[in-house]
Amino acid sequence: MNKNCNARITIGRQFGSGGRQIGRAIADALGIDYYDKNLMTEAARHAGLNPALFEQKDEKAPSFFSGLLSYNMGYSAYNLLGSTSSITDDALYRAQTEVIRSLAEKGPCVIVGRSADYALRDRDDVVNIFIHAPIEERIKRIMERGDASTPEQARQLAEKTNKLRAGYYNFYTDKRWGKAESYDLTLDSSLMSTEDIVELIKKYIELRNK
């Protein structure tokens, strides 16, 4: 662990902006822990929580909200019948919040997604970052990593995923996803190499720690 870095760094990101890759690179550069959905599942298992709770495809607001977003989650009947799936969603959110808090308690780290900024809002060692990029760049990246085979498919996937992330964030926090004022620092990832973004964020953390 880097003795100069005490920060718990949270990263929100547009789908396809490379935010996760940047998060990993920051953790490597600072020699601190890195967590995203996969590692949080692992952490939940170790903590004795049901990891199935974390095996969702992406951040999602409760299902009645997802319904508003016209997202077919495969249990629409529940939406009509009552709050069964909402209860599950809330349990998932509470479990995630607990896991995020205990990971942050362990030491400096980078946590990507899951409104980690809000889960950690009472700590004073948190740095909240948001990564975005122009849609053309995101489409390119989404296709390069094989998540879509046509630009139109990539665009739709980006739009749908960002809607879900925004719905999740706006539902569970008192802030707005993607608005500058919700974060300490936001960056357009298309204007610099990942290496240079990491250098800038290191500089930012160094200045914050002064």
Q: Which residues of the chain form contacts with a copy of itself (CB under 8 A)? A: 14, 130, 132, 134, 178-181, 183-188, 191-192, 196, 199-200, 203-204, 207-208, 210
Minimum gap (Å) between residue 32 Cβ and a copy of itself: 20
Q: Which residues are paired to 112 by β-bridges? A: 11
Question: 51 is written with which tokens?
Answer: 């990891």
Minimum gap (Å) between residue 123 Cβ and a copy of itself: 14
Closest to a copy of itself by CB, 77 or 180: 180
Minimum gap (Å) between residue 163 Cβ and a copy of itself: 14
Closest to a copy of itself by CB, 156 or 209: 209
Minimum gap (Å) between residue 207 Cβ and a copy of itself: 4
Cα→Cα distances 59→105, 115, 172, Å: 22, 9, 11
Closest to a copy of itself by CB, 29 or 39: 29
Closest to a copy of itself by CB, 122 or 181: 181
C-alpha 146: how far from chain center: 20
R_g of the chain computed on alpha carbons:
17
